[in-house]
Structure 1
């Protein structure tokens, strides 16, 4: 059961790719893990309580391709090597870690875009599978990912009630609301998004969702350009946004970076008592939102 504290220290890690996409997925995974470990150690030494990485953090964003090679990068959760390793680090630093990786299901040939959640004692709490899967030029995600049906889990960590929403999910306000109604105080959104059409939305949607739901959000994006696809620049700018929709801490555009921020969790109650959006909801009038499904 979570023990909500007045201050929650969060950490977000953004990073560029550390190995050529010509290499096999296991070589790439090892290079990305090696690059992350010093920042994980830094987060642990700084007393970070909840740490999150970017979307599919052990691999390139391979969805501009439709190459079955990348199926080999998928891991079992929680028994695969990456989650097992992160359980050790979570226990070492008494730090909740959100681990976004490519997941292979027990059913052969079925794969998900998933984030595993590890509690501060190293125990595996569960996972969230990306719900909304895009299929547009440069983002052929349906080739790689089956849509998740995780029923909006909220994880009772030692430090907070934690929700996860992954990348393209953020364009859909229904999931933010579902997570908040299920009790989420802090929601992380690990992403891989490039400059162009969506960049102006990067600092619009998560702040709007934080304000609409009276919760904290941590938004994480990778950095750099990934060969050979060159679909654009992953523009970093990971940030923490408060329940008023104000960005309080932001990372750089183009550097590997760990950002750390102390979140005032008392603000959740203050904002919700002031706006009362949950009291004033009229769900009985919203049936057209789901009619015909």
Structure 2
């Protein structure tokens, strides 16, 4: 199965960003991708260090907002899986979520609300979003099972492990990750998720400067050994990262490195 991560430079209005993302999804499908991942909140500028009341104007209905309408449309048109990320406005006034939506052939199969939220290092997400109440779930795409966690959640090994135990062969991680010192840690964490869960990891980040943030890109696809199959360059422009996933390697690695078999959950209760 071929998978693609979309790396975006968010430097235009929402309508323009949605059009650019749609063109990259089309290009990925034309190159044979069955799974396409967009960055965290791909169609709008990400939160800045200081809370901003005007930011709530970006929130949209996850079922009928413009970002997900495009994702569902491109998923349906190409018969592929598209993972979108939106600033979700709920029916309850004042309640918002940072939400990832998985579309398979145009059908919404999963709506995952970011359950771990930072309020540190210039990312005051708890000011804007309510944490989700449910763990990530895996989705059957027809080729494999995919689960999604969002950005900051890569710091929590329990979430990737949850996806693996739920039968996931691919962990999708939409992110908005900035600052040069974090780049090496970022890559180490994603490689670690791939290795100790023996699965592929697909990560899509932003690129370029937005206010006080300098997003470092490094969108990539990692194999179950933690090796980089494909990674975005440093041009600072929009980019598509594509790689072929040999899904049989997940099964093979789970036999030769049976970390899931050898777990001792009876020892982990505390």
Q: TM-score range by the shorter chain?
A: over 0.9
Deviation at 1:76, TM superposition (A): 1.3
Gaps in structure 1 of 5+ consecutive residues: 1-7, 20-27, 289-293
Q: Which residue matches 1:282? A: 264
Q: Which residue matches 1:263? A: 245
Matching of residues 62-141 of structure 1 within 5 Å: 62-120=47-105, 122-141=106-125
Deviation at 1:106, TM superposition (A): 1.9
Separation (CA, whole Å) in 1 of partners of 2:240 and 2:180 = 24
Q: Which residue matches 1:4? A: none
* Contact 1:75–1:104 under 8 Å retained in 2: yes
Separation (CA, whole Å) in 1 of partners of 2:60 and 2:188 = 33
Residue 183 of structure 1 pairs with residue 164 of structure 2? no
- Following superposition, which runs of at least 4 residues in structure 1 exceed 6 angstroms of deviation? none
Separation (CA, whole Å) in 2 of partners of 1:273 and 1:33 = 42
Gaps in structure 2 of 5+ consecutive residues: none
Q: SS state of the match for residue 181, structure 2? A: coil
Separation (CA, whole Å) in 1 of partners of 2:157 and 2:109 = 25
Q: Which residue matches 1:15? A: 8
Q: Which residue matches 1:252? A: 233
Deviation at 1:256, TM superposition (A): 1.1
* Contact 1:18–1:31 under 8 Å retained in 2: no
Deviation at 1:94, TM superposition (A): 1.0
Deviation at 1:62, TM superposition (A): 1.9
* Contact 2:18–2:70 under 8 Å retained in 1: no
Matching of residues 144-183 of structure 1 within 5 Å: 144-183=128-167
* Contact 1:220–1:239 under 8 Å retained in 2: yes
Task: Out of 46-55 and 78-87, give the one that drifted further.
Answer: 78-87
Equivalences, count: 269
Deviation at 1:280, TM superposition (A): 0.8
RMSD: 1.2
Q: Which residue matches 1:222? A: 206
